[in-house]
């Protein structure tokens, strides 16, 4: 027979937790990192016995306290996120895209139609407009912008052109040659190996209880174990790849005694 009351069930935790992080020892805004599964923490106490020959064990004293934090994250291709949470193990750099001048795109007869959108094969990495330097038809010769063709944009896709049935363009049965300049996207490069010092971060979790109140867990000084690898999804799988992240929360001895490892806050959100 159950003796649980409403007050008992209010202590249950069945909601997901959101993962936050920021640089250690700062008041920077917390960064919310979505796509996390299986988050957990486990505090550990290391103690030593205080013994005297004539009376034996007097008491146990805590020599150290830590907590292991594990997170299964889906942000495997978020290089900024990986750079932040690994505490300097990686060196991140960006290389600007090299401008391409006079790229030539041929559109075969039969693959385009009046007012149909001809997408440009290459786009600016920034998403900026591409303005072709020339559009030439195999039969009708050079075509004029705004009279024979216009630039169009498909959101989330890119830039292209539309050809009109103008006085100059006499037939669809001809090849088109489009010449344009573009600058591809920059590269982000992550390098690793040889770094001696790992910079700690602060980690927080936020969830809600059965009554809808926020419950927050703060860990003051967390160091990654560096095992941030992951696998790759099989071709016929629809399951997203995750990387398992493990951190050790250590005491921040600059804080007051009794408040050096972590704290739990129930009530209004401070994140």
What residue ranges do the domains of the chain occupy?
Answer: 11-93+190-267, 100-185
> Are the C-beta atoms of residues 62 and 47 closer than 8 Å to each other?
yes
DSSP helix/strand/coil, 81: helix
Please report which residue ranges of 49-152 form alpha helices under DSSP H. Answer: 79-85
CATH class of this structure's domain 11-93+190-267: mainly beta
Which portions of the chain are predicted below pLDDT 50? none
| 0.85 surpassed by pTM | no
Quick one: tokens of 84? Answer: 């932040």
Question: How many Å apart are CA 14 and CA 5, to the nearest integer?
Answer: 17
Phi and psi of 83, rounded to 5°? -65, -40
> Are the C-beta atoms of residues 241 and 216 closer than 8 Å to each other?
no
pLDDT at 205: 94
pLDDT at 271: 85
pLDDT at 60: 86
pLDDT at 167: 96
Distances (CA, A) of 74 to 4, 178, 237: 37, 41, 15
Question: Which residue, among 246, 168, 204, has the nearest Cα to 31 in the 3D structure?
Answer: 204
pLDDT at 114: 97
pLDDT at 2: 61
């Amino acid at each position: 027979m159950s003796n649980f009351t409403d007050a008992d069930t209010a202590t249950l935790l069945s909601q997901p937790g959101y993962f936050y992080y920021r640089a250690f020892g700062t008041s920077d805004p917390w960064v919310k990192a979505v796509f996390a599964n299986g988050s957990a923490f486990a505090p550990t106490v290391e103690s030593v016995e205080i013994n005297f020959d004539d009376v034996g064990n007097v008491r146990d004293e805590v020599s150290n306290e830590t907590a292991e934090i594990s997170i299964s994250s889906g942000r495997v291709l978020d290089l900024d996120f990986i750079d932040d949470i690994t505490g300097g193990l990686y060196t991140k750099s960006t290389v600007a895209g090299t401008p391409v001048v006079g790229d030539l795109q041929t559109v075969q007869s039969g693959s385009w139609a009046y007012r149909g959108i001809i997408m440009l094969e290459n786009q600016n990495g920034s998403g900026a407009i591409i303005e072709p330097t020339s559009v030439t038809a195999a039969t009708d010769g050079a075509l004029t912008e705004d009279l024979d063709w216009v630039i169009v944009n498909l959101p989330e896709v890119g830039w292209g052109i539309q050809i009109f049935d103008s006085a100059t363009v006499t037939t669809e049965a001809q090849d088109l040659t489009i010449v344009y300049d573009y600058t591809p996207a920059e590269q982000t490069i992550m390098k690793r190996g040889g770094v001696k010092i790992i910079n700690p971060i602060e980690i927080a979790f936020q969830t809600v209880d059965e009554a809808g109140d926020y419950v927050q867990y703060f860990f003051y000084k967390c160091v990654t174990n560096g095992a941030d690898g992951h696998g790759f999804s099989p071709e016929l799988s629809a399951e997203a790849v995750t990387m398992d992240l493990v951190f050790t929360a250590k005491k921040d001895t600059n804080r007051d005694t009794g408040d050096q490892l972590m704290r739990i806050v129930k009530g209004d959100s401070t994140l």
